[in-house]
Copies of this chain bind each other. A is one copy, B any other.
Amino acid sequence: MVRLPLTPEEVERGQRLGSLLRLARGERSMLETALHARVSPETLRKIETGRVATPAFPTIAAIADVLGLSLDAVWAEINEPSVPEHRVA
């Protein structure tokens, strides 16, 4: 085996990551945010929509930087299925 396909868990985690980033972006436009983070607007959109499950570390770090997010907090959150403000149990 080489380069195992993405697992469903990885895909779901990628979707949570995307939702988190989009939420944090708030009012700012994709274009502005992407240019600021020095990534392509298309790349940002794909990440936000969850179509990229395991983006590169520098990519996420740059975006988190622009959005003022802590990478540790991001990592912790996307590994928890539920959102803090929306805990079920």
List chain B residues, Cβ under 8 A from A57: 17, 54-57, 59-61, 75
Task: With both chains docked as a complex, state the minimum distance between the C-beta of A10 and any C-beta of chain B, in angstroms.
Answer: 7
- Tell me whether chain A's interface is mostly helix, strand or loop, or mixed: helix
- Closest beta carbon of chain B to A48's beta carbon, Å: 14
Q: What is the count of identical protomers in the complex? A: 2
Does A70 belong to the interface (CB within 8 Å)?
A: yes
- Number of A residues with CB within 8 Å of any CB on chain B: 16
A72 close to chain B: CB less than 8 A: yes
Residues on B with C-beta less than 8 A from A72 are: 70-72
Please report A residues at the B interface, Cβ cutoff 8 Å. Answer: 10, 13, 17, 54-61, 65, 70-72, 75
